[in-house]
């Protein structure tokens, strides 16, 4: 299976890439931010997994995303995992959030994701096969945490897009499923250790969710039959039930 994972050098994206790469039959393609730190990560991953291909991508640069979409047309993709999120989930209160912050986050996160998915779908339609997995968030279930206006709205928008992809492309044997992880202490969250400790004490299992555990769920959806479609799967130890 040829799988494209966006944002594959840290956090959940890296966990997904490495798990899928353990199967030598997979060719795992991933994007990364072209910095010295992430170039070192790419080099290390390449030594351990020969079935990886890494592409630098500036997710916030519309022209760079457009160029990458051109490259995608030669990848013969079977699956796309929309994992990248630019910025921090935690912000300020809704009424204190500048309109420009909403516009910037939408442009930095949703527009690139839409562009990449449109390109992938065109290839999937020709093959009459394809899998899309969208990394959403538990924040769209029930009431999101305070300060999550932008993040929760972006994730909810992507989840509704996934519904539309179900409606339009199931007849082409294309699936679109969503994974809704609970809080993970990754570089994206960068949470105060005291808050992390408190969250661990409140957790039913007394330990926070890890990227590796979520990656197992993504792997299931990538390997599941096409009958598994339109799924919104929480990964949260049943703290919130849809």
- Map out the domains of the chain with their CATH numbers: 2-235 (3.40.50.720)
Joined together, the tokens standing for residue 181 give 């992880």
230 Ramachandran zone, left/alpha/beta (phi>0; psi -120 to 50): left
DSSP annotation of 215 reads: H
Percent of the chain with pLDDT over 90: 80
Contacts of 123 (CB under 8 A, 6+ apart): 72, 73, 75, 76, 77, 130
Who wins on pLDDT, 194 or 63?
63
Contact 32, 42 (CB under 8 A): yes
Helix (H), strand (E) at residue 53: strand 52-56
Who wins on pLDDT, 205 or 221?
221
Distance between CA atoms of residues 198 and 195, nearest Å: 5
Strand runs labelled E in 60-183: 79-82, 130-135, 174-181
Provide the greatest CA pair distance for the chain: 51
Distance between CA atoms of residues 119 and 115, nearest Å: 6
Contact 200, 137 (CB under 8 A): no
Q: What is the pTM of this model?
A: 0.92
Catalytic residues: 151
pLDDT digits (tens, 9 = 90+) for 173-218: 999 999 999 988 766 555 556 666 666 666 677 688 999 999 999 9
């Amino acid at each position: 299976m040829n799988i494209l994972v966006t944002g594959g050098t840290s956090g959940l994206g890296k966990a997904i890439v490495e798990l899928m790469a353990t199967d030598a039959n997979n060719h795992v393609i991933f994007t990364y931010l072209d910095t010295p730190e992430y170039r070192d990560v790419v080099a290390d991953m390449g030594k351990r997994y020969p079935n990886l291909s890494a592409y630098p991508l500036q997710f916030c640069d519309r022209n760079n995303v457009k160029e990458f979409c051109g490259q995608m047309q030669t990848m013969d993709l079977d699956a796309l995992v929309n994992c990248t999120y630019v910025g921090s989930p935690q912000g300020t209160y809704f009424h204190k959030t500048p309109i420009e912050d909403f516009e910037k986050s939408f442009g930095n996160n949703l527009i690139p994701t839409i562009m990449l998915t449109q390109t992938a779908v065109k290839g999937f339609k020709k093959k009459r096969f394809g899998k899309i997995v969208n990394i959403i968030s538990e924040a769209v279930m029930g009431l999101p945490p305070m300060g999550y206006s932008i993040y929760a709205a972006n994730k909810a928008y992507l989840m509704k897009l996934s519904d539309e992809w179900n409606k339009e492309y199931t007849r082409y044997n294309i699936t679109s499923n969503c994974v809704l992880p609970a809080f993970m202490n990754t570089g994206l969250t960068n949470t105060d250790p005291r808050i992390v400790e408190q969250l661990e004490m409140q957790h039913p299992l007394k330990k926070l969710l890890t990227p590796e555990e979520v990656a197992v769920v993504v792997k299931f959806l990538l390997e599941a039959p096409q009958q598994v479609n339109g799924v919104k799967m929480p990964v949260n130890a049943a703290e919130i039930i849809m």
